A and B are shown apart, each in its own frame.
Chain A
Amino acid sequence: MAHASVAPVGGPLLTRGTKLALFIAAVASVLVSVRLFTGLGPITALNDGFAWGIWKPLNVVTFTGVGAGALGLALVAHVANRGRHHPLVRSAVLTGAIAYTLAGISVLVDLGRWWSVWELVVPTRWNVRSVLLEVALCVIAYCAVLWLEVLPALLERWRDAPGARGRLAARVLPRMQRMFPFLLALAIVLPFMHQSSLGALFLFAPTKLHPLWYTGWLPALFLLSCLSMGFGAVIVVDTLTHLAWGRRRDVRLCSSLALVMAGLSFAFVALRVGDLATSGALRHVTGWRGVLFLVELGLFTYPAVRVLQRSYRENAGLLFWAAQLAVAGGALYRFDVYLGAFSPGLGWSYFPSLAELVFSLGLAAAGVALYVVAVKRLPILSGVAEPAERRQEAARLRAHA
C-alpha cells in the first residue's frame, strides 16, 4: 500500500528559506501586538463601509480554499475509493490543517472583541439564525478534525520510539484506525457546510453585492470553487515538493485529479453562466466588474479545457501551470464576492494598508514554514528517496527548471 512509502524528508529545519519565512511571520506578529493596543483602525484601511477587508477573502476564504484539497482527496481516495491516490492524501490533509489554522488566527486578530470569542461555544448564547455562527463553529470543529487526521503521522514516528511515547502511540493508533470512517465523514460534511456557507454569508447583503455575483446559488458556487481550487492546490503542492526535495512521484495521479478539477470547473461555469442567463443578470456584464467576471470565467475555463487533452495534463510543467490558474480562478471568484463586487454605496472606498498585506504575507510564510518543518520530520510525503540520491535528483530537477 502507498502508506509504506511515506517518510520524513529529513534534513536541517533552519534553512535560508525557513529563516526568511519565520522573519516575515515575526514582523506580522509585531503588527498583531500593536493591534492589541491600538485597535484595528490605525493599522488597517478598514472603515464602516468596508468593515471586512482583505483578510477575509485572502486569509480565510482563499487559504481554506487551498486547504480544501483535503476535502477533495477524502472524496476521491476514500469515498470513491481510488486507492492509488493515497500517496497524496497526507500532504493535502497537512496543508488543510495548516491553512485552516491560519484562517482561524486571522479571524481572531480581525475580531474587535477577540477575548469574548470563547462564548461562541456556549450553546445557550447562540443565535441559530446566524450563518456566520455556523461557519465559525464548523471551522473550529473541522480544524480539530484535520489535526486529528494529521496525528497518525506523528504517532507513527513515535511508535518506534522507546518508552512512554512509543506505548502511547501503540495504544492510540489502532483506535484512530477504528475511528477513521467517522473522522473522514466529518472531514467531508463539515467543509461542505462551511465552505458553502462562506458564500451564503453574502446572501445577507443583497443591496451591496453586484448582481453578477448575487444569486441564491452562492453556497453551491462556493462549494464547487473550493473543490476545484483545492484539487488545483494539491497538484501545485505535489509539484513543488517534488521540485524542492527531488521526491519521486507519479504524475498520472495528478493528471487524473486534473480531470476531476476540470469537471468541477465546468460545473461551476455552467451553474454560474446558466444562473445569470436565466435570471437575466448577464446584461450587467459591463464596466470593470464585467471584466472581472470574464477573467474569472477564463481562469475557470481555460485550464479545464486544456487538461482534457491527455498530452497536456501528462506534461508535468503544463499541468502545474493549469493547476495554478485553477487556484487563481477560485481565489478571484472569492475575492470578488468579498471585495471586488461588494460596494456599500457612494463615498466608501477601501484599499488594504501595508500592515494588512504584511500580516497576510506573514501568515502565509508561517504556513509554508510549518509545512516544511512537518514534512521534514514526519512521514507525510511519498516517494522520498535516500538523502544522497535525493540531492542528486533535486540538483537535476533544478538544472532542468
Chain B
Amino acid sequence: MPNVSRRTVLRTLGGAAALAAAPAPAEARAPRPPHDDDLGLLFDSTRCVGCRACTVRCREANSLPEDVKLVDGVPYDAPIDLNDRTLTVIKRTSDGADGAFVKAQCMHCADPACVSVCMLGALHKGERGVVAYDVSRCVGCRYCQVACPFNVPRFQWSSATPRIVKCELCRHRWREGKGAACAEACPREAVVFGPRAELRAEAHRRLEAEPGRYQGGVYGEREGGGTGVLVLSAVPFTAMGLPALGSEAVPALGETIQHGIYQGFVAPVVLFGALAWVTWRNRRAGGGGEGER
C-alpha cells in the first residue's frame, strides 16, 4: 500500500476521532422552560417557625414510617435530613439567632438533571411539571443522586429491593382534589402549593410589600433553568444550602456536548465505515491478519 494514502486515511480517522470527543459547540439543545400551570410550592423561609408540621404531615400523606431516634434514651421522630423515609425536613442555616429555617425537599426542576441521566426514565417529568418516580423503571444505579445538585433523591441502602425516595408533590392526592400535604399543614403560609404563575405572583407580592424582609429575589425563578419550588429568604441562598446555579439548566451543557458528538449517530457510523474499510484494505494488502488470520 502506498504510504501516502494510508496517511490520508489516518488523518481522516484522526479528524473523526477528534470530532467524536470534542465539546462540540453544536446548536444547544432546545430549552425546557417551566410552564405557568406547572404545580409547585413557594417556601417563604421568613415565615417558617420550624414547627415541622410539614414533615409530620408529609409522612402521613405518603405512608412513610417514622424516623425515630433516641436522644438520652428518649425516642423522638426527629429526622435530621432527608432520608429513605423522609421526603421533607426543616433545617436551620446556623445555630445563631441570625439563622433561618430551610425546607429540604425535591425542587421539581423544570429541566432536571435527575431526569436527564435516568436510563429508563424511572425519574421523569410527569403531569404538570412534577418530577415523578416509577420504581418499575428503576435499576438502582443511583446516578440521579450523583447528578441532583440539591442532593435530593435518597436510596434505601438497607433494602434488598431498594428504591429511590423523594418528594413527588403528593401527586397521588391530586385526584382527590388535594395538593401537597406540607402546604396544607403549614400554619403560617410559609409553604404554599399552587400553579407556578400564582406562586410567582405571590412571591413578588411579598417581596414588594416588605422589601426589607428579604434578600436576593426569588430562588428558582431562573436558577438551574427554573425550579418548581420557589424560595424566599432573609439570608443569602447559598447559606441555605441552595447551590449558586446559573440560569442554564443543569444537564444542558452535558446534553449539548453529547448531542453534538452523536448528532443523528453520524460520527460513529462514519467512523465505523472508515475503520472497516481501512482494515479490510490493509488485510487484502497482506499487512494485517493477526490471530484471526
Contact = CB atoms under 8 A, between A and B. Distances in A.
B293 interface: yes
Contacts of A48: 82-83, 145, 151, 153-155, 157
A79 B275 contact: yes
Contacts of A11: none
A113 B142 CA distance: 10
Nearest to B21: A220
Contacts of B115: 127
A197 interface: yes
Contacts of B146: 51-52, 201, 204-205, 208
Interface in B114-165: 115-121, 124, 136-143, 145-147, 149, 151, 153-163
B275 to A, nearest CB: 4
Contacts of B141: 110-112, 132
Contacts of B147: 204-205
A203 B119 contact: no
Given A119-B137, A180-B292, A129 B156 contact: no
B283 interface: yes
B121 A79 contact: no
Contacts of B275: 79, 181, 184-185, 188-189
Given A48-B154, A127-B121, A6 B245 contact: no
A216 B253 contact: yes
Given A113-B161, A204-B113, A39 B156 contact: yes
Contacts of B291: 3, 6, 86, 89-90, 93, 149, 152-153
Contacts of A127: 115, 118-121, 124
B22 interface: yes
Nearest to B244: A207
B271 interface: yes
Q: How would you classify the secondary structure of chain A's contact residues: helix, strand, loop or mixed? A: helix
Interface stretch (B174-182, B225-233, B254-262): B254-262
B202 to A, nearest CB: 28
A346 interface: yes
B241 interface: yes
A353 interface: no
B268 A131 contact: no
Interface size class of B (residues with CB under 8 A): 35 or more
A77 B290 contact: yes
B143 to A, nearest CB: 5
B241 to A, nearest CB: 7
A344 B153 CA distance: 12
A130 B139 CA distance: 13
Nearest to A176: B292
Interface string A213-247: 00111011001000000000000000000000000
Contacts of B207: none
A224 to B, nearest CB: 8
B119 A136 contact: yes
Contacts of A46: 157
Nearest to A75: B13
B13 A79 contact: yes
Given A2-B290, A220-B21, A184 B158 contact: no
Given A39-B160, A116-B139, A206-B250, A83 B288 contact: yes
A131 to B, nearest CB: 6
Contacts of B13: 79
Given A111-B139, A126-B120, A184-B276, A216 B257 contact: yes
Given A127-B124, A200-B257, A203-B257, 4 more contacts: A52-B142, A134-B262, A185-B279, A219-B257
